[in-house]
Structure 1
Amino acid sequence: MDHLTKLEELLNGANNDIKNGAFDEATNKLEKIIDMDPDFGKAYNHMAYLYDVKFKEYEKGETLYKLCLEKSPMYPPVYYNYAVLLSTLRKYDELEELLNTAINIPGITKSTIYNEYAIMYEQQGKLDQAIEFYKKCGMDTLDKATLERAKASIDRCKLKKDFL
């Protein structure tokens, strides 16, 4: 088995551990991957996800997402995960910069990125911009649930506008 195959196999094991709630086991596998190959960016994304979502250690998660972007800038999942963290932390300038990069990454789901732009604008009270991006999200998807969520989000923004 070659080096890369071994790393991917360990990463898949860590993914399964995360899905099964075995976060310590996942962390151990990810640390092993990073020890074996410090340039294997995907491992940093998964580790960041654990620190961000499961352990609520946002600073550590942010540092690890940045490492993933540095090592594997063409890896789409890091953009989705890091965008949610930046949104949670209300770091809108950094978030907008990340989304501007993400939208041009091959393999990225554009509707997901448009939705993140929309959430960012909605959180800032820029409701017209949010509505425009929820529309882009809806127009770019083939998934009915995503389309319905975009429609509901537009309706929510229109309701909020009534308060202004």
Structure 2
Amino acid sequence: MDHLTKLEEMLHRANDDIKNGYYDEATNKLEKIIDMDPNFGKAYNHLGYLYEVKFKEYEKGETLYKLCLEKSPMYPSVYYNYAILLSTLGKWEELKSLLDTAMNIPGITKSTIYNEYAIMYEQQGELDKAIEHYKKCALNTLDKNTLTRAKESLERCKMKKEFL
């Protein structure tokens, strides 16, 4: 088994630990991957996710996502995870820049990125821009659940506009 295959296999096992709620075990596996190869960016993304979502250590999560972007800028998953963190923290300029970059990453799900733009604009009270991006989200998906969510979000923004 070559070096990269071994790291991918370890990452897969860490991912299974995360899915099964074994966060400490996952953390240990991910840190071991980084010890073996500090340039294996995917491990930083998964570790960032753990620190953000499971341990609520947002600053540490952000640092890890940035490391992933530096080491593996073509890895789509980091864009989704980091976008949610930046949205949570209300770091709108960084978020817009990240989303602009994400739109050009091969393999990225454009509907997901449009949805993140829309959430960003909605949270900032820019409802017309939010509506425009929820429509783009809807038009760029083949997934019925994504379509339903975009429609509900669109309706929510229209209702909010009634209060202006």
- Cα RMSD, aligned residues only: 0.3
Residue matched to 2:131:
131
Matched, 1:4 2:4: yes
Residue matched to 2:15:
15
Residue matched to 1:152:
152
SS across alignment from 1:65 = helix
Tell me the TM-score normalized by structure 1.
Answer: 1.00
Paired amino acid for 2:151:
K
| Runs of 5+ consecutive residues of structure 1 not aligned to the other structure | none
Matched, 1:100 2:100: yes
Structure 1 residue 85: Cα displacement: 0.1
Structure 1 residue 128: Cα displacement: 0.1
Alignment partners' CA distance in 2, 1:32 and 1:94: 30
Structure 1 residue 108: Cα displacement: 0.1
Residue matched to 2:66:
66
Alignment partners' CA distance in 2, 1:34 and 1:76: 19
SS across alignment from 1:27 = helix
Matched, 1:50 2:50: yes
Residue matched to 1:80:
80
Number of paired residues? 164
Paired amino acid for 1:114:
Y
Alignment partners' CA distance in 2, 1:108 and 1:32: 28
Alignment partners' CA distance in 2, 1:149 and 1:59: 29
1:83-112 C-alpha deviation (Å, 9 max, x unpaired)? 000000000000000000000100000000
Percent identity over paired residues: 80
Structure 1 residue 39: Cα displacement: 0.1
Alignment partners' CA distance in 1, 2:44 and 2:145: 30
Tell me the TM-score normalized by structure 2.
Answer: 1.00
Paired amino acid for 1:61:
G
Paired amino acid for 1:84:
I
Matched, 1:161 2:153: no
SS across alignment from 2:125 = coil
Paired amino acid for 1:80:
Y
Structure 1 residue 163: Cα displacement: 0.4
Structure 1 residue 2: Cα displacement: 0.6
Residue matched to 2:33:
33
Alignment partners' CA distance in 2, 1:136 and 1:41: 30
Residue matched to 1:91:
91
Matched, 1:24 2:29: no
